[in-house]
Every structure is written in C-alpha cells, then in structure tokens.
Amino acid sequence: MKESIVASANPISVQMYTLREAVAADYVGTLRALAELGYRAVELVTLGDMTAAQLRRELDTLGLSVSGMHIGLDKFESNADLWLENLAVLGGKYPVVPYLAPERRTSGDDYRRLGQQLNEYGRKAKEHGMQLCYHNHDFEFQRYGDATGLALLFEEADPALVKSELDVYWVAKAGVDPQALLRGMAGSVPLVHIKDMADTPEQEFAEVGSGTLDFPALFAVGDEIGVEYYVVEQDVCKRPPLESVGISLNYLRSIGRA
C-alpha cells in the first residue's frame, strides 16, 4: 500500500457516497482500493450486507478508521439507538444528519423544529460518547425574513449537542464565502466536506484542487477554528469515482495536507 496520511492534526477522510456504485458491487474491494490509494479514514453511509462488527473487522484489516457516518433522519426517527450503537462498534465518533427532504424545509419554522429535533438526537449521541453533526447543502441558505434556514436551525440547536459538517462546495454554490462562514462558526465545525467547483456556468462538482475554491486558504481557517477531519466528497464524477478521489488525494499531497 502507499504511504499513509501524514497530516495527523487534521486527517483526510473520504465520503463513501462518492463511491456508492462501487460499494454496491463490492464493498470490501472498494475499501481495499481506497486504502491502496493512501486513504486511512472513511465516512460511511451504509453497512452493506454486513453487520457493524463484520464491517469493523474488514476496516481494521485494511488499516481504515471511521471518521463518521451519515445517518438519515428516517433512521434516527425509527431507531436512533441502533444506528448509534452500530457507529460505536465501527469506532466512529461523528453521526451526521446528511440531508433535509424538500417537504421538511418549506418555512423558517421547519428549520427551528429541526434544530429542536436534533437536540434530542444530539443527547442520544452524547450518551454513546459521540457528537452529532448536520451536513448542509445550498438550500439551507435560503432566507426566511432576516435569517437563513441554517442560522435558524442553529439558533434552536444546543451548541454542545449539535455541530456542523460544513460542505464548502455547497456554501460557495449558495453565494456565501466559505472562509468567512467557517470563521463565524468557530468551535462548531469538527468536520468539513471538501470538493471543488468547476469554473463553468454550471459550476459542476470537481476534484479537489481542479476548480475555483481556494483550498489552502480554507485549510488555514479550518485549522485555526479546530476542524478535526476534512472529508473528500464528490457527488457526481465525470470519470470513475475511484480515479476522482485519487486525483483529490494527490492534490492534497501536493499542498502538504496528505
């Protein structure tokens, strides 16, 4: 295998949603390929057809740790304890609510209610020794009066119970300066999703370092405010996703982040 990640203060992880088709075809083989590229941490979405204990054994064999897991609101609502217990078995610290369905974000009050609901799941996460996070897209930056949906959510959320996994692509897509937002959320962002934005009218997803986002500046701010993991993600790839995450990792190596 290639040399492992060396930026120990801020490890690089990779979100497995990027590789969802490969995971569906061969989960363990995909994990092995990531380890061979040099990744040493993954952010999970699914157990596949394994138990948490079985998946943990495979991860341990490959030298991969779990930075966190995306757990949908439906899973929290149906059996939060089960999914938190699964993540505990996997050795993960950060359960992340990844998405808010359109019907659940029609008003500012919807975001306030979500903040209150996340407090409940954040308490459960604390009972398991974990920290709940919420992952943004661009729609959370729609304004309701004087405040964005994201601001309303975090007004209701207890800062000790609910923190942010800030996706800098979606922040920029919403027309917000990700560096300024990171600074404004200091102490509340243990996880950052990193993917680049193509320099095209469509602003497509792009490999880290190949687009318009200033990652050295973003890393400088993230390090300053206490980001623990930077997580490579690319929702849609124009080449095989494994190749895309390899390109991103090579760029991170070139700037001394991996």
Domains of the chain and CATH, by start: 12-254 (3.20.20.150)
Q: What are phi and psi of 34, to 5 degrees?
A: -65, -40
Looking at residue 152, what is its pLDDT? 99
Looking at residue 3, what is its pLDDT? 39
User: How far apart, in Å, are the Cα atoms of 176 and each of 45, 122, 139, 144, 187?
Assistant: 27, 27, 12, 16, 19
| Amino acid code (one letter) for 221 | V
Task: Say how far apart CA 221 and CA 218 lie, in whole Å.
Answer: 5
Mean pLDDT by 10 residues, the chain (258 residues): 43 98 99 98 99 99 99 98 98 98 98 99 98 99 98 98 99 98 98 99 98 98 98 98 99 97
Looking at residue 156, what is its pLDDT? 99
Task: Say how far apart CA 65 and CA 48 lie, in whole Å.
Answer: 17
Looking at residue 5, what is its pLDDT? 36
DSSP state of 194: E
Looking at residue 104, what is its pLDDT? 98
Q: Centre a 10 Å sphere on the Cβ of residue 118 and count the other Cβ atoms it contains.
A: 25
